[in-house]
């Protein structure tokens, strides 16, 4: 999930749910401090307030889009129940079971094949909207990214429902190819993230819950310890001037061995963090510019476009051109 702002289309979908629940829209927007629901974009923080307002007014954190209502407080309870899991895989399986109990349908199951993880959605009705499935993925992906302490790039998503009028917004929001009217609903990502340790204490959980859902509507932010320090340096530095690990360790007033060990304790390496940022920048350039792929490759510091192609395939299971076309 990569958008810095929330599109008006997403806001409209949420408000449609509130209208079906006979919620006073004017009072809802006023409470969320949103002046106009028509046109333009709103900040993730504002949409987060709207999200919580709808959940409170409808007494349902899933906005009436599941077989059963997800009562307010359910997401918090789910986060508490998975925080102590030793790995992301175990935590994710717990979260999927929790959501099945809370919602009945749709519910997801996790499988792995050839290095790819897939969450398959099961649903006995064909009448659910794209927004219903979008809400499910937002909740689950946001929590999983926080548990992994990483932005987990998605390979692709498929929806069994018909495409909404603003289907391109789905591609931009998730930062991955999205297929509609598919025979099976699913979300796919690199299975390596499942092996990451979960190192989240009670204080970190409280910070996460205070910022949710606005925080994971724009993609997970590294917010803990040495990872946050490293990302701050990398984001403030031109890619071609990124320091080596020993140089970065010196900047952070620690030895290279200490930096490497602390990153590993949080489930990262210096190489993986640099790759995450390169992927982000590559997708931004592909989505927001018309630059040739060869030029994007050069800007990202690759000596040859072929090296960029190989890296991009590892990130997304697609070529840069195919990803750009959505």
Instruction: Tell whether 42 is covered by a domain.
Output: yes
What single-letter DSSP state applies at residue 242?
P
Cis preceding linkage at 55, omega within 30 = no
Together in a domain, 303 and 191: no
Instruction: Tell whether 175 is covered by a domain.
Output: yes
Together in a domain, 46 and 105: yes
* Total-model pTM: 0.72
Together in a domain, 42 and 136: yes
Instruction: Tell whether 172 is covered by a domain.
Output: yes
Tell me how many domains the chain contains.
Answer: 3
Work out the widest C-alpha separation in the chain, in whole angstroms. Answer: 60
Together in a domain, 43 and 182: yes
What's the pLDDT at 45?
83
What single-letter DSSP state applies at residue 240?
G
Instruction: Tell whether 208 is covered by a domain.
Output: no
Together in a domain, 109 and 93: yes
Instruction: Indicate the residue among 155, 179, 195 that finishes a domain.
Output: 195
What's the pLDDT at 229?
87
Together in a domain, 161 and 104: yes
Q: In this structure, what are the phi and psi dihedrals at residue 290, rounded to the nearest 5 degrees? A: -110, 20
Compute the distance between CA of residue 273 and CA of residue 257 in angstroms, rounded to an integer. 17
Together in a domain, 57 and 156: yes
Together in a domain, 56 and 10: yes
What's the pLDDT at 85?
95
Compute the distance between CA of residue 186 and CA of residue 118 in angstroms, rounded to an integer. 7
Instruction: Tell whether 54 is covered by a domain.
Output: yes
Together in a domain, 241 and 319: no
Percentage of residues in the chain having pLDDT higher than 70: 93
Flag residues of the chain having pLDDT under 70. 1-4, 36-40, 217-224, 265-267, 326
Instruction: Tell whether 106 is covered by a domain.
Output: yes
Instruction: Tell whether 207 is covered by a domain.
Output: no
Tell me, what CATH number does 302's domain have? 1.10.10.60
Instruction: Tell whether 17 is covered by a domain.
Output: yes
Together in a domain, 157 and 257: no
What's the pLDDT at 47?
87
Q: Which two tokens stand for residue 247?
A: 């140089």
pLDDT tens figures, 53-76:
999 999 999 999 999 999 999 999
Which residue in the block uniquely carries the two structure tokens 């709207």?
50
Together in a domain, 129 and 153: yes
User: 276 lies in which domain range?
Assistant: 269-326
């Amino acid at each position: 999930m990569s958008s810095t702002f929330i599109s008006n289309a997403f806001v409209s979908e949420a408000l449609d749910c509130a209208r079906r629940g006979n919620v006073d829209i004017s009072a809802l927007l006023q409470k969320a401090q949103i002046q106009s629901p028509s046109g333009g974009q709103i900040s993730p923080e504002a949409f987060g307030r709207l999200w919580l307002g709808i959940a409170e007014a409808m007494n349902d954190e899933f906005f009436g889009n599941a077989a059963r209502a997800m009562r307010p407080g359910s997401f918090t309870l789910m986060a508490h129940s998975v925080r102590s899991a030793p790995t992301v895989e175990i935590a994710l399986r717990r979260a999927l079971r929790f959501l099945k109990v809370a919602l009945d349908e749709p519910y997801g199951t996790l499988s792995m094949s050839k290095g790819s993880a897939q969450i398959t959605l099961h649903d006995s009705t064909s009448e659910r909207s794209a927004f219903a499935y979008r809400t499910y993925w937002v909740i689950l992906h946001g929590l999983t990214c926080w548990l992994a302490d990483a932005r987990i790039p998605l390979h692709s998503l498929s929806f069994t429902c018909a495409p909404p009028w603003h289907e391109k917004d789905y591609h931009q929001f998730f930062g991955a190819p999205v297929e509609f009217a598919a025979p099976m609903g699913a979300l796919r990502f690199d299975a390596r993230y499942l092996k990451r340790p979960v190192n989240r204490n009670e204080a970190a959980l409280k910070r996460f819950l205070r910022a949710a859902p606005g925080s994971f509507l724009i993609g997970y932010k590294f917010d803990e310890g040495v990872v946050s320090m490293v990302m701050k340096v990398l984001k403030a530095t031109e890619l071609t001037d990124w320091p080596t690990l020993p140089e970065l360790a010196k900047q952070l007033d620690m030895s290279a061995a200490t930096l490497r060990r602390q990153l590993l304790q949080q489930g990262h390496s210096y190489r993986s963090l640099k790759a995450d940022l390169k992927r982000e920048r590559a997708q931004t350039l592909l989505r927001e510019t018309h630059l040739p792929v060869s030029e994007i490759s050069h800007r990202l510091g690759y000596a040859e476009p072929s090296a960029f192609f190989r890296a991009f395939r590892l990130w997304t299971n697609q070529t840069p051109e195919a990803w750009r076309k959505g």
